[in-house]
Chain A
Amino acid sequence: MAIVPMKHLSLIALQKDRDALLHDLSKLGVVQISESSGESLEKERSDLGKFKAQRSEIVGALEVLGKYVKVKSGLFPQREQVAAETFFASETIDDALEIAKEVNSISREIATLFANESRLIAKKDSLVPWKGIDVPLETVSGKRYFLSFGTIPAKFSVEEIKNQLAEIKSAYLECPSSDKEQHYVLVMCHDGEKEVLADTLRTLSFSKVSFKDTTGLVSENIASIEEEITKSGEKRKSLAEEFSKMGDSIPKLKLAYDALSVQIEKAEAQEKLLSTAKTVILNGWFPAREKGKLEKLFESYGAAYEMRDPLDEEEPPTLTYNSKLVEPYSMITNMYSPPAYRGIDPNPFMAPFFAIFFGIMFSDAAYGILLTLVSSIVLLKFKPRGGTRQLMAMAAMCGVTTFVWGVLFGGFFGDAIPTVYKMITGKPFGFELAVWFNPMKEPMTMLIFSFAFGGIHIFAGMAIQAYMMIRDGKLLDAIFDIGSWWVLFGGIVFALLGLTNVGLILIGVGALALLLTQGRNEKKFFKKITKGLASLYDITGFLGDILSYSRLLALSLATAVIASVINTMGAMTGPVGFVIVFLIGHTFNIAVNLIGTYVHTSRLQYVEFFGKFYQGGGEEFSPLDTKTKYVDIIKEEK
């Protein structure tokens, strides 16, 4: 349980060993390479850009295939085990790239066909209103006659238009269709009356339409476009069928994705190195315990290296080391902010509180059993990694505390046992299941205990703060800033327990100590006193913190009452209905309250607990290693 000591590494190796060395380092996975700086020395260049382009090609292909090929993956897909030789072989990437190129070119072809189809559909839609006209579309006015296609706004009725045009002797009108906005029309007249017609058309707000590249009859055009669309659609389908045959190559692509990711990480590391004509220079951090392994590796390359402890002005990355029980909770802390290298690892202190508070809020024996059961199965069967593993391990532990609190508070699917008993026998269940007490019946007791748990939590936070102050040699600060508060709070506790006199004396002593010491860094007497007074006002902050723990009661009530709503509703519907309502209802209650409990437990750690002592602000140790998403590399035995 602690923050792992780090050592700084400087290394000079031969240029020709560079790739092999980076490869070995990434397999060891214990060195975090930092940006090297040095005047007059060149930065190393790598194929980073090329690798990234290749990886996005593969990502594209995987996305396309994912859309067309149904693959069973499940929530926790099992990773394929791949031998290191296969993983690092260059064919792995080359083969996959070829497949990816093919997939991507087909997918581009499909996209082109699709775009073309939508263009055709638009064209067809523009022709449909003219369907009734049997004049070829390319027809224009000739020597003897005037002819024009066009539209007239729908505010004029067809009758109106006809009446207006009737005044012109040779005028001819055809109106194949109309919609909400306009009438689609073809007008003709003798050449001599062209101008009169033009005037009339202007009063009708006629606007000319010309069919640029379309020739022939409308109906013929529509038929040929439809044929083209069908053909294109068929072609698309046959191309898409090719994809479904390529489903087998998905694992290959996934393998190549991981292989490229490892390459990219190496290339990124390489760009942090400095180079001279014959050598490369590497700077980085590693956990002190790995010294031996690294020395052996560097000796084998005949490289020059120096390993030293971090200097005071340096800020090494943080790696925490905790027992298996505590380690999963580091996820909660890292979400807030990883600890600083010289700070304190809060996980061992936070973990038990997290589990206990989670248990109080969820407090149902049956829910606890289910939670532990499901998360253990996931852990053992699917062996998830990273955050999922931590989450599941936490869930398994919190399930146990949930069970314990459920037993203490008498919750088993809420009040399922009394409800079922009453449903079957018709008599009330005259027995209290709670081993300790039932918060539904004694909410005030529960509220007081919630505050008491909160007080312990906050005291623990302040104790850690005091420890940190003493560790840094500020013993007086610890006594004045924290000791005074403890005396004051101790007094309040005594007073509440009935020892009024002792309590009042302690409160007085604590308050006086705060009043006299909190302004000790101020020079002027007046400021010393006002600062001391102001510090007493902090008590409202503590009060707010303590009140915040009432959520322990509220959320445990929420779980229990919603469960009893479900049971009551079920009992009203008879035995069969009860089973159905029970299954659906409790699944819902577990899902909703699980999220609520998780969020509120985290909040109590972040705001009330961490607020007392924890600063964070560290950088998580992220060594150069072989991080993979889809496959596991089988480690070579050494």
Chain B
Amino acid sequence: MLEFMTSNGGILFALLGAVLAAGLAGMGSAKAVGSVGEAAAGVVTEDPNKFGQALLLQVLPGTQGLYGLLIAFLVLVKIGLLGDPVTVTLGNGFNIFLACLPIAVVGYFSAIAQGRAAAAGVSIIAKRPEELSKGMIFAAMVETYAVLALLISFLMLNGITLA
């Protein structure tokens, strides 16, 4: 067991990080985009012409999923799964795992919170479609924290040098 961990643990931890980054952030975004979609469907039933506007709001909380994918992809590149294989020590693997956590956790929760703000924004386009941008800005305020988490994940990942 110990031998297995020392020879494969690095890759395992790095992959676990990638799984969490893409998985959790993606789950959050899926949940959020879904809930905005439900609210949007209600508005579009009343006025099909508002589809475009509603769609704009719906895609907003989808970015966390993309950020998660982005970090996961960089991890795959880093540990050589997509190109020439590299040796990943247990310590390095664990570091990569930690680097993935900010976007995984913050991505998940911020997506859901942003989804709620965007769903509330849908009621803005129901009543005052000309104020759509304000609804978009409210939702985007939440995304700031996903952006910050992405940044930290990226900088951490970038700072880890594999021998």
Stretch among A162-170, A371-379, A598-606 lining the B interface:
A598-606
Q: A447-B151, A568-B73, A602-B140 are in contact. List 4 more A-B contacts (CB 8 A).
A: A551-B144, A592-B63, A599-B136, A599-B139
Once bound together, how far apart are the Cα atoms of A550 and B155, in whole Å? 12
**Which chain B residues lie closer than 8 Å to A600 at the CB level?**
140, 143, 147
Q: Which residue on chain A has the smallest CB distance to residue B140? A: A599
Task: Assess whether A444 is interfacial by the CB under 8 Å rule.
Answer: yes
A-B CB contact pairs (8 Å), 29 listed: A443-B154, A443-B158, A447-B151, A547-B148, A551-B144, A553-B151, A554-B147, A554-B148, A554-B154, A555-B147, A557-B70, A557-B154, A558-B63, A558-B66, A558-B67, A558-B70, A558-B150, A561-B74, A562-B70, A564-B73, A568-B73, A592-B59, A595-B56, A596-B63, A599-B139, A599-B140, A600-B140, A600-B143, A602-B140
Contact present for A606 and B137 (CB under 8 Å): yes
Task: Assess whether B69 is interfacial by the CB under 8 Å rule.
Answer: yes
Q: Which residue on chain B has the smallest CB distance to residue A441? A: B158
Once bound together, how far apart are the Cα atoms of A447 and B156, in whole Å? 13
In the complex with contacts A596-B63, A599-B60, A551-B70 CB distance below 8 A: no
Contact present for A550 and B148 (CB under 8 Å): yes
Task: Assess whether B141 is interfacial by the CB under 8 Å rule.
Answer: yes
User: Which 8 A-B residue pairs are closest in the complex by CB-CB distance?
Assistant: A599-B140, A554-B147, A561-B70, A335-B133, A551-B147, A554-B151, A565-B73, A550-B151
Contact present for A592 and B136 (CB under 8 Å): no
Contact present for B154 and A602 (CB under 8 Å): no
In the complex with contacts A335-B133, A595-B56, A562-B147 CB distance below 8 A: no
Contact present for A550 and B70 (CB under 8 Å): no
Task: Assess whether A548 is interfacial by the CB under 8 Å rule.
Answer: yes
- Which A576-612 residues have a C-beta within 8 angstroms of B? 592, 595-596, 599-600, 602-603, 606-607
Once bound together, how far apart are the Cα atoms of A444 and B159, in whole Å? 10
Interface residues of B (CB under 8 A from A): 56, 59-60, 62-63, 66-67, 69-70, 73-74, 82, 133-134, 136-137, 139-141, 143-144, 147-148, 150-151, 154-155, 158
* Chain B nearest Cβ from A122, distance in angstroms: 24
A439-450 toward B: CB 8 Å interface, digit per residue (1/0)?
Answer: 000011001000
- Which A534-570 residues have a C-beta within 8 angstroms of B? 547-548, 550-551, 553-555, 557-558, 561-562, 564-565, 568
* Chain A nearest Cβ from B158, distance in angstroms: 5
* Total of A-B residue pairs, C-beta within 8 Å: 68
Residues of A in contact, count (CB < 8 Å): 27
Contact present for B154 and A568 (CB under 8 Å): no
**Which chain B residues lie closer than 8 Å to A443 at the CB level?**
154-155, 158
* Chain A nearest Cβ from B59, distance in angstroms: 6
Once bound together, how far apart are the Cα atoms of A602 and B154, in whole Å? 24
**Which chain A residues lie closer than 8 Å to B82 at the CB level?**
568
Once bound together, how far apart are the Cα atoms of A230 and B137, in whole Å? 53
* Chain A nearest Cβ from B25, distance in angstroms: 12
Interface residues of A (CB under 8 A from B): 335, 443-444, 447, 547-548, 550-551, 553-555, 557-558, 561-562, 564-565, 568, 592, 595-596, 599-600, 602-603, 606-607
* Chain B nearest Cβ from A302, distance in angstroms: 41
Contact present for A592 and B62 (CB under 8 Å): yes
- Indicate which residue in B66, B140, B154 contacts A603 across the interface (CB closer than 8 Å): B140
**Which chain B residues lie closer than 8 Å to A551 at the CB level?**
144, 147
Contact present for A592 and B66 (CB under 8 Å): yes
**Which chain A residues lie closer than 8 Å to B143 at the CB level?**
599-600
**Which chain B residues lie closer than 8 Å to A558 at the CB level?**
63, 66-67, 70, 150
**Which chain B residues lie closer than 8 Å to A565 at the CB level?**
69-70, 73
Once bound together, how far apart are the Cα atoms of A551 and B144, in whole Å? 8
Contact present for B147 and A602 (CB under 8 Å): no
Q: Which residue on chain A has the smallest CB distance to residue B131? A: A335
Q: Which residue on chain B has the smallest CB distance to residue A548? A: B144
* Chain A nearest Cβ from B70, distance in angstroms: 5
Contact present for B158 and A554 (CB under 8 Å): no
Q: Which residue on chain A has the smallest CB distance to residue B69? A: A565
- Indicate which residue in A547, A550, A553, A562 contacts B66 across the interface (CB closer than 8 Å): A562
* Chain B nearest Cβ from A393, distance in angstroms: 17
Once bound together, how far apart are the Cα atoms of A596 and B151, in whole Å? 16
Once bound together, how far apart are the Cα atoms of A562 and B73, in whole Å? 9
**Which chain B residues lie closer than 8 Å to A562 at the CB level?**
66, 69-70
* Chain A nearest Cβ from B28, distance in angstroms: 16
Once bound together, how far apart are the Cα atoms of A592 and B82, in whole Å? 25
Contact present for B150 and A554 (CB under 8 Å): yes
**Which chain B residues lie closer than 8 Å to A547 at the CB level?**
148
**Which chain A residues lie closer than 8 Å to B150 at the CB level?**
554, 557-558
Once bound together, how far apart are the Cα atoms of A286 and B10, in whole Å? 73
**Which chain B residues lie closer than 8 Å to A548 at the CB level?**
144
- Indicate which residue in A550, A553, A555, A595 contacts B60 across the interface (CB closer than 8 Å): A595
* Chain B nearest Cβ from A286, distance in angstroms: 25
Once bound together, how far apart are the Cα atoms of A555 and B63, in whole Å? 10
**Which chain A residues lie closer than 8 Å to B66 at the CB level?**
558, 562, 592
Once bound together, how far apart are the Cα atoms of A372 and B147, in whole Å? 27
Once bound together, how far apart are the Cα atoms of A148 and B73, in whole Å? 75
Once bound together, how far apart are the Cα atoms of A602 and B56, in whole Å? 15
**Which chain A residues lie closer than 8 Å to B73 at the CB level?**
561, 564-565, 568
Once bound together, how far apart are the Cα atoms of A564 and B82, in whole Å? 12
Once bound together, how far apart are the Cα atoms of A447 and B74, in whole Å? 18
**Which chain B residues lie closer than 8 Å to A555 at the CB level?**
147
**Which chain A residues lie closer than 8 Å to B134 at the CB level?**
335
Q: Which residue on chain A has the smallest CB distance to residue B134? A: A335
* Chain B nearest Cβ from A607, distance in angstroms: 8
* Chain B nearest Cβ from A622, distance in angstroms: 13
Contact present for A602 and B137 (CB under 8 Å): yes
Once bound together, how far apart are the Cα atoms of A565 and B154, in whole Å? 15
**Which chain A residues lie closer than 8 Å to B139 at the CB level?**
599
Once bound together, how far apart are the Cα atoms of A548 and B151, in whole Å? 11
**Which chain B residues lie closer than 8 Å to A603 at the CB level?**
137, 140-141, 144
